[in-house]
Structure 1
Amino acid sequence: MTQATEVPEDLRRQLLARIRDVADYPKPGVLFKDITPLLADAEAFTALTEALAAFAQTHGATKVVGLEARGFILAAPVAVHAGVGFVPVRKAGKLPGATLAQRYELEYGSAEMEIHAEDLSAGDRVLVIDDVLATGGTAEASLELIRRSGAEVAGLAVLMELAFLAGRDRVLAALDGAPYQALLTI
């Protein structure tokens, strides 16, 4: 599957102009993509959330999940624009009550994410939103968690894909035909 929709060039330019590169953060050799200037610009942030909300509506999402932590910042306003519910996917141990958990592998070790067991159910069509697609492990785990809840995956949308980390193939396989969109590929 390829990107579900073409990203207008003016939107791409607007978003790229507001993403700052920070060298050697959080460790030497890493070029961090800082989205805080984009979030601070009301016009750019609105354009971003409207584009993601249109993707949610086009693909029939009834809920939007945001991945901790920057995915929350994007997914909540997308849910409002799209007129659907928002569900946070949190790191293990951060949610009270009954949860569903999914373990996934990191470069050095493993981690676990959770959702409230009652937040998703059969009949829900869920769009996953995150800021960055890197290696795809977190996105892949979230898709499995959604399916285990009984909900259907409506797709995955990210602000930017770091192409050099090759996460796209991993998530396309995990999406199993559901649509994928990266507004920016870097």
Structure 2
Amino acid sequence: MNIKDHIRSIPDFPKPGILFYDISTLLAHAEAWKDAVGQLADAVKPYKPDVLVGIESRGFLVAAPLALTLGLGFVMIRKRGKLPGDIITHNYDLEYGSDTIEIQADAIKPGARVVVCDDLLATGGTMVAAINLLRSVGAEVVAAQFLIELAFLKGAEKLDVPVNSLVSYES
């Protein structure tokens, strides 16, 4: 099945000049979504992760069903103030400002093999921050997994782990 056939492109969203790749059409098509999760599982299995991590919020849509399919736990990286209990915070800069992500302090056991998941890889800034946050709590980040990669933005070049993408756009 060609997963690209189930991803809708919306021009000028969220602002003029941006082409938004909408995964809601993929999620709404049960057969295509099941096939996509199966393809993601096949890509992740060789890394033998102990746990999958999803980045808020669409990364949760990738990591949670994938973790369930693989029989693994799922951990969330969220924006500031969204997680209860003791948390570890990481501040980082983006092209348009700065942001903060957090993880619960006890979510990852030191030495755990982790694959980090998100819906889309663009410039790579958020994924770099997530990898740094995970390493700060003792995780061994073994790969980054995406549904979509905007290859022309060269985000994968910023990552020091293997990058897997189900769908890639070259322009």
Is the shorter-chain TM-score for this pair beyond 0.5, marking a shared fold? yes
SS in 1 for 2:120: strand
Is the Cα–Cα contact under 8 Å of residues 66 and 130 in structure 1 kept in the other structure?
Answer: yes
The answer to whether residue 167 in structure 2 is matched with residue 184 in structure 1 is yes
The answer to whether residue 8 in structure 2 is matched with residue 20 in structure 1 is yes
The aligned length equals 169
The answer to whether residue 94 in structure 2 is matched with residue 111 in structure 1 is no
Question: Which of 68, 76, 79 does residue 91 from structure 1 map onto?
Answer: 79
1:57 deviates by 2.0
1:144 deviates by 0.7
1:183 deviates by 1.2
Question: Which of 123, 138, 152 does residue 135 from structure 1 map onto?
Answer: 123
The answer to whether residue 120 in structure 2 is matched with residue 120 in structure 1 is no
- CA offsets 1:50-90 (integer angstroms, 9 cap, x no match): 22222232111110001111100111000000110000110
- Stretches of structure 1 lacking an aligned partner (at least 5 in a row): 1-10
Is the Cα–Cα contact under 8 Å of residues 99 and 116 in structure 1 kept in the other structure?
Answer: yes
Single out whichever of 45-54 and 71-80 deviates more from structure 2: 45-54
TM-score (norm 2): 0.95
| Mapping of residues 1-186 of structure 1, within 5 Å | 11=1, 13=2, 15-171=3-159, 174-175=160-161, 179-186=162-169
SS in 1 for 2:6: coil
1:47 deviates by 1.2
Greater than 6 Å deviation, 4+ residue runs: none
Distance in 2 (alpha carbons) for counterparts of 1:77 and 1:163 = 25
Is the Cα–Cα contact under 8 Å of residues 54 and 82 in structure 1 kept in the other structure?
Answer: no
Identity of aligned residues (%): 46
Higher strand share: 2
- Stretches of structure 2 lacking an aligned partner (at least 5 in a row): none
1:38 deviates by 0.3
RMSD: 1.0
Is the Cα–Cα contact under 8 Å of residues 131 and 158 in structure 1 kept in the other structure?
Answer: yes
